[in-house]
Structure 1
Amino acid sequence: MVHTLIAGLARLMALLGGIVLCTLVLTVCISVLGREVNDVAHAGYLGPLGPWLLGLGIGPVTGDFELVEAGIAFAIFAFLPLTQLTGTHASVDIFTAGVGPRVNDFLAAFWSLVMAVAIILITWRLFAGMQDKLRYGETTYLIQFPIWWAYAASFAAAITASIISIYCAVLRFTGKRLG
């Protein structure tokens, strides 16, 4: 029951992270296309069509890099829960390939604990950063997006990652399988 809930939460966060990531890719593509159309229209290659396109306001998406920065931060934290739950972090097995299953189980439990502590510390610092950004009312340069919104989204995903990391560490130290 608990594992089903945890697994569903991890999948939901990964889905949200994927939606945000796909939206960011689309935004960057639209921005690059708009920038190129704008450049070609200004260069005069399109003849009378150029001024018409310029009149439509076709160009890059204002603040695209600001949106990408905020969205990527959220996506990273959104993918962490599923990665932790499935144990699919990048690893180098050359050192552990020759040891027995008990040593590998201990190492998996140890690194799950280290990961849980690291994610909890990052979550704590995200909360502190979010409070600072909210208190000072910081915004992005171009679109005046309140920076604390990005921190809040990442913080929510980091809380989920913290909960799931603790769950994984407890399961591994008690010798239970995650799957």
Structure 2
Amino acid sequence: MYRIVDGGIGWLARAVALVGGAVLLALVIMVCVSITGRALIPLGLKPVAGDVELLEMGMAFAIFAFLPYCQYVRGHARVDLFQAAFGSVGNRLLDLVADLAMAVVAVVVAWRLWLGMMDKKSYFETTFILQIEIWQAYALAMIGASTFVLVSLFCVWRSIKALSGGGA
């Protein structure tokens, strides 16, 4: 069962990160087009309307989309100053503590993002230029945040399994 869940969680983390990468690439293209449009206004070109709004929303999604994969591959920054002194059991215990802490952070971030989204939705707040309802950007970020929670909880399971001698 562990292998099936591991494969599914790994696939989900990679898929969300790839979508985040595609969004990031689209944002780069949009910014280039917008800057070119600003530079060539005398020739009749224009910048992309609402480019800053789209960039803010897209970046928020991309950042949250990359968090699950980073957690899955243990890519977050860590200090390995005392790693050699702890031995393998101590290091596995340290991995468990770090994964538990990250799971708590992921749950709190997702919870607060959810509450923020509900707040924006209840006030019908929109962006200034494009008039996009802001809660929709929060909803996109929630895709990454909820995936981050799932992956973080799986990583806790993975660390418990490794600590108990089951490998991982």
Looking at CA atoms only, which structure, 1 or 2, has the larger radius of gyration? Answer: 1
Distance (Å, rounded) in 2 between the aligned partners of 1:159 and 1:173: 21
**Are 2:135 and 1:148 equivalent residues in the alignment?**
yes
Q: CA deviation at 1:95?
A: 3.9
- The corresponding residue for 1:133 is 120
Cα distance, 1:177 vs structure 2: 4.7
Partners in 2 of 1:33 and 1:177 — Cα distance? 53
- Structure-1-length-normalised TM-score: 0.85
Deviations 1:154-175 (A, max 9, x none): 1122111101100101210232
Question: CA–CA distance in 2 between the matches of 1:97 and 1:67?
Answer: 46
State the partner residue of 1:99. Answer: 86
CA distance in 1, matches of 2:157, 2:97: 10
Match of 2:12 among 6, 9, 14: 9
Residue 33 (structure 1) aligns with: 36
Counterpart check, 1:83 vs 2:70: yes
**Corresponding residue number in structure 2 for 1:44:** none
Alpha-carbon RMSD: 1.3
2:51 aligned to which of 64, 69, 89: 64
More displaced 10-residue stretch of structure 1: 147-156 or 95-104:
95-104
Q: 4+ runs of 1 displaced by more than 6 Å?
A: none
**Consecutive unaligned residues in structure 1, runs of 5 or more:** 42-52
> Residues 99 and 59 from structure 1, CA distance in 2 versus in 1: closer, same or farther, beyond 3 angstroms?
same
Give the number of aligned pairs.
162
Q: Classify 1:29/1:141 alpha carbon distance in 2 versus 1 (closer, same or farther; 3 Å).
A: same
Give the conservation status (yes or no) of the 8 Å contact 2:106–2:149: yes
Same amino acid, percent of matched pairs: 44
TM-score computed with the length of structure 2 as normaliser:
0.91
Shift of 1:98: 3.9
Counterpart check, 1:115 vs 2:102: yes
In structure 2, relative to structure 1, the CA distance for the partners of 1:177 and 1:28 (3 Å cut) is farther
Aligned pair 1:162/2:144, yes or no? Answer: no
Contact 2:17 2:65 in 1 (8 A): yes
